[in-house]
Structure 1
Amino acid sequence: MQSGQMTWPAGWEQRSRPMVTVVPYVMLAVLAALTVAFKHDQPGSLAIDLALCAAAAVWGLALFTLRPAWRDRAGVMGVFLAGLILFGLVMALRDPWFGVYATVLYFYAFRIIGWPRELYFIASVAVVAGTAQASGLDLDSWAGRFEFLGVLAVNIVPMCLLAWLGEIMMQHHAAREAALSEAREANERLEAALADNAALQERLVEQARTAGVLDERARMAREIHDTLAQGLTGIVTQLHAAEHAADDPAAWRRHHAAATALARESLTEARRSVNELRPEPLETGRLADAIAEVAAVWSARHGVAAQVTVTGVARTMPVEAEVALLRTAQEALANVAKHAATASRVGLTLSYLDQQVALDVRDDGPGFDPNTQHRRDGGFGLVAMRQRIEALSGTLQVESEPGCGAGVSACLPASPLPEVRS
């Protein structure tokens, strides 16, 4: 609390209005009545005492009771209380029973004067009370004087100590309120930050979802362009050629057969694209069974032996991981059909390891140089497989060289094997 700042608490005037508007004047009236009773036979002294009571009452009315706006002005309140203390001291010197008026003075001193100035006023009020209490002492002797000083000390020290303890408690209360206020503000900032983070997370999820949809659309567009569109273009070309070769039956049949073959291939590619959207093999079995089914269908279609091997302890994986490995197997087999026509066998190995699941697809075809042919299928191919696997925190490696076949290895993290309890 700053020096000179008043300790007038919020709402104190409303709660303590009787203490400032009634009690001081009632007490003065009671003391005046006692004075009349005790000094009715001393009219001159009685008149002075009553005049002092009236002057104190007028002083309080003029500077405090009738001036609520002045109660926040430390200077005016200091003058007001100093005047009341002076009145109280004079009355206590004249008649000891006026020492009771010190209770009113203490009330004002503790309430309306700021720390540390209130100590001077509290000590002054204690002098008034002590003076009244020591009225019967013989101040002409040293013993009486020492007793008087002792009475003053007994009044001054406890009251000043009480004021000091009250100030410490008020400071502690203010510090606690400040800490609570800071804590509330920190909680509000934290709640706001959490709300912002939640909103940001929602936006990120929505953006990721949108990006996923756009990526899938772009992938399907490339797939359709590189398969169905090219096949249909070839069919149209062969039909036009057959139309121009109407006079040459052999050439017409050749173009017709080529168009039919292209139509069949396009139909196969369309079916494979549908399977890309909905992996039916996974709906009816495990990943190993789905890969075996895909390999069997591919082998029957292309006349190339495809062997599926499963190692390790099979366990359930997230759906997106199983779909990614199944699509990798399908794409790898499709690439073998497109670019390894001389391949005589294909091997697919699904390995369940401690921390990951791996899929290897190898063929004995002519191979290629991975450093110079990044997209040997001209469309979706290896790039799409790598994107699909890496999106799930996995890895995809391609091993090949001209004349030595090719191999694709995809690895995805998986839940570790459960511990075996003895």
Structure 2
Amino acid sequence: MTPQGAAPHGDRSDWIWLLLPYAMLLLTSAYAGFTGEVGAAQVPRTIVISLALVAWHTFWAIGHRHWLARALVPMAMYFVGLVALCALLLEISPSYLPMYLVCYAIAFVALPGVWAYVGLILAASVPVALAGALGWQEPNLAVNLGGLALAGVIGWSIRKSEAETAARTAALTELARAHEDLERASAENVALQDRLVTEARESGVLAERTRLAAEIHDTLAAALSGIVSQLEALDAELAPEDPIRGRVRLSTDLARENLREARLSIQALRPTALQHQHLHLALTELTKAFEQAHGLTARVHVTGTVVDIPQDVEDALVRISREALTNIRRHAGAGQVHLTLSYFGDSIALDIADDGAGFGDPNPRGHGLQIMTERAQGVGGAVQVRTDPDAGTTVTATVPLPGRTVVA
């Protein structure tokens, strides 16, 4: 039986009730023939009515299952025709009375809502009204009414149980949907928290770098600038042949060199070095400043498809480049420096190659290299050094990347 509002053609229990008329018609016909209640003269009529009942039930109930408990008019026509055919069989032999038990069940399968009880009353009334069937005798009437009440209670109970089952199924479906929505919202919340933490960390890093740049500018750079001015004033006061003048000029050059280093540090620390531009553009600006300050030729090359990378990775590679350029100027005696930025999709590599003297130790240990290694490790990367005497040195920093968006 199918509760009102449910999808009847998906309920396997409906098939049990829909196949019951065939089974009951076969059993009652066999019983009537075995007991001889159907005479030879009535056999053709019985066969015709039985075939008509089979065709009627097959066309309406089996062939149009989507009407069950939904379309009142066609199902009412079907049920009235079913009861009428059962009545014709009952007029032939009382052996067909069990067919009305089938009608009781079919009323709840075919008719929607309260119309099932109307059909139940109709099915129970016909045997009583037919002469020669149960008749209007009190015992028969009491049995029929008792069966009618029992069928009504059973049908109501089954429908109520099915309605509760359908409601529980709908509630479980809604609960599962709500659980999925909750999991999706939780995942989005976790992603949002991660993004907020990342943004807060990057904001803190940029704020600290800005603060350090300002402090270097206001203290170290300002002090070096003052020292340069004082040394220049002293040099102007000394006589050209004064022996101290050579040391003053050496000290002035040293102070100017450290002032340039301080200004490069300020440039690398300021967040504007990487805002509104990509890493290779920031490296180009860094090499231009390096060329202007020290006279060495420095070039930037890019290979692979340029993608957006995390701010901390960009910062680390810029600072590694600056440290490598400083080491080249101080120790390599090089004339050219080439920075090659390679995008590999899942990683990025920066090669800083010079044509300087190189060194013999294949595993050099120095303060500058240690700084570069620590900066690379801070973003999950590594630094390798390849060098040969008189063949130059190449420093390679490699950093893994998550999935990134391609930059047009």
The alignment's TM-score, normalised by the length of structure 1, stands at: 0.50
Q: Distance in 1 between matches of 2:95 and 2:51?
A: 16
1:206 aligns with 2:203: no
Q: Which residue of 2 aligns with 1:361?
A: none
| 1:33-44 alignment, distance < 5 Å | 33-39=30-36, 42-44=39-41
Q: Which residue of 2 aligns with 1:11?
A: 10
Q: Secondary structure at the match of 2:29?
A: helix
Q: Against the structure 1 CA distance between its residues 131 and 155, is the aligned structure 2 distance closer, same or farther, given a 3 Å change threshold?
A: farther
Q: Is the CA contact (8 Å cut-off) linking 1:7 and 1:111 kept in structure 2?
A: no
Q: Against the structure 1 CA distance between its residues 112 and 223, is the aligned structure 2 distance closer, same or farther, given a 3 Å change threshold?
A: same
How far the C-alpha of 1:154 sits from its partner, in A, is 0.4
Q: Which residue of 2 aligns with 1:180?
A: 172
Q: Which has the larger radius of gyration?
A: 1
Q: Is the CA contact (8 Å cut-off) linking 1:31 and 1:97 kept in structure 2?
A: yes
Among 62, 73, 83, the alignment partner of 2:81 is: 83
Gaps of 5+ in 1: 274-422
Q: Is the CA contact (8 Å cut-off) linking 1:6 and 1:112 kept in structure 2?
A: no
Among 226, 230, 239, the alignment partner of 1:234 is: 226
Q: Secondary structure at the match of 1:171?
A: helix
How far the C-alpha of 1:127 sits from its partner, in A, is 3.9
Q: Distance in 2 between matches of 1:65 and 1:184?
A: 34
Describe the superposition over 1:88-133 as per-residue Cα deviations: whole angstroms up to 9, x where unpaired. Answer: 123224421101222432342232222221112223333457779x
Q: Secondary structure at the match of 2:98?
A: helix
1:162 aligns with 2:154: yes
| 1:107-126 alignment, distance < 5 Å | 107-126=105-124
What amino acid does structure 2 have at the position aligned with 1:233? S
Q: Secondary structure at the match of 1:114?
A: coil
Q: Is the CA contact (8 Å cut-off) linking 1:106 and 1:122 kept in structure 2?
A: yes
Q: Distance in 1 between matches of 2:58 and 2:186?
A: 57
Q: Distance in 2 between matches of 1:97 and 1:40?
A: 8
Q: Which residue of 1 aligns with 2:364?
A: none
Q: Distance in 1 between matches of 2:182 and 2:39?
A: 77
Q: Is the CA contact (8 Å cut-off) linking 1:88 and 1:101 kept in structure 2?
A: yes
Q: Superposition RMSD on alpha carbons, in Å?
A: 4.0
Q: Against the structure 1 CA distance between its residues 185 and 98, is the aligned structure 2 distance closer, same or farther, given a 3 Å change threshold?
A: same
Q: Against the structure 1 CA distance between its residues 184 and 131, is the aligned structure 2 distance closer, same or farther, given a 3 Å change threshold?
A: same
What amino acid does structure 2 have at the position aligned with 1:95? S
How far the C-alpha of 1:240 sits from its partner, in A, is 1.0
How far the C-alpha of 1:60 sits from its partner, in A, is 2.4
Q: Against the structure 1 CA distance between its residues 54 and 212, is the aligned structure 2 distance closer, same or farther, given a 3 Å change threshold?
A: closer
Q: Is the CA contact (8 Å cut-off) linking 1:88 and 1:102 kept in structure 2?
A: yes
What amino acid does structure 2 have at the position aligned with 1:243? D
How far the C-alpha of 1:51 sits from its partner, in A, is 3.4
Q: Is the CA contact (8 Å cut-off) linking 2:108 and 2:155 kept in structure 1?
A: yes
Q: Distance in 1 between matches of 2:30 and 2:225?
A: 124
Q: Against the structure 1 CA distance between its residues 180 and 149, is the aligned structure 2 distance closer, same or farther, given a 3 Å change threshold?
A: same
1:57 aligns with 2:54: yes
Q: Distance in 1 between matches of 2:190 and 2:153?
A: 55
1:99 aligns with 2:97: yes
Q: Secondary structure at the match of 2:238?
A: coil
Q: Against the structure 1 CA distance between its residues 8 and 177, is the aligned structure 2 distance closer, same or farther, given a 3 Å change threshold?
A: closer
Q: Is the CA contact (8 Å cut-off) linking 2:18 and 2:62 kept in structure 1?
A: yes
Q: Distance in 1 between matches of 2:55 and 2:14?
A: 20
Q: Distance in 1 between matches of 2:109 and 2:194?
A: 56
Q: Is the CA contact (8 Å cut-off) linking 1:131 and 1:152 kept in structure 2?
A: no
Q: Is the CA contact (8 Å cut-off) linking 1:123 and 1:159 kept in structure 2?
A: no
Q: Secondary structure at the match of 1:83?
A: helix
How far the C-alpha of 1:159 sits from its partner, in A, is 0.8
Describe the superposition over 1:278-301 as per-residue Cα deviations: whole angstroms up to 9, x where unpaired. Answer: xxxxxxxxxxxxxxxxxxxxxxxx
Q: Which residue of 2 aligns with 1:193?
A: 185
Describe the superposition over 1:351-383 as per-residue Cα deviations: whole angstroms up to 9, x where unpaired. Answer: xxxxxxxxxxxxxxxxxxxxxxxxxxxxxxxxx
What amino acid does structure 1 have at the position aligned with 2:111? I
How far the C-alpha of 1:207 sits from its partner, in A, is 1.0
How far the C-alpha of 1:17 sits from its partner, in A, is 5.2
Q: Secondary structure at the match of 2:8?
A: coil
Describe the superposition over 1:9-31 as per-residue Cα deviations: whole angstroms up to 9, x where unpaired. Answer: 34336x7657646x534543443
How far the C-alpha of 1:40 sits from its partner, in A, is 7.5
Q: Distance in 2 between matches of 1:40 and 1:96?
A: 8
Q: Is the CA contact (8 Å cut-off) linking 2:105 and 2:155 kept in structure 1?
A: no
What amino acid does structure 2 have at the position aligned with 1:167? R
How far the C-alpha of 1:147 sits from its partner, in A, is 2.7
Q: Is the CA contact (8 Å cut-off) linking 2:117 and 2:152 kept in structure 1?
A: yes
How far the C-alpha of 1:55 sits from its partner, in A, is 2.7
Q: Is the CA contact (8 Å cut-off) linking 1:7 and 1:114 kept in structure 2?
A: no
How far the C-alpha of 1:47 sits from its partner, in A, is 4.2
How far the C-alpha of 1:237 sits from its partner, in A, is 0.8
Q: Distance in 1 between matches of 2:98 and 2:74?
A: 25
Q: Distance in 2 between matches of 1:62 and 1:166?
A: 26
Q: Secondary structure at the match of 1:111?
A: helix
Question: What is the aligned length?
Answer: 251
| 1:219-258 alignment, distance < 5 Å | 219-247=211-239
Describe the superposition over 1:131-153 as per-residue Cα deviations: whole angstroms up to 9, x where unpaired. Answer: 79x9466x4xxxx3x33331221
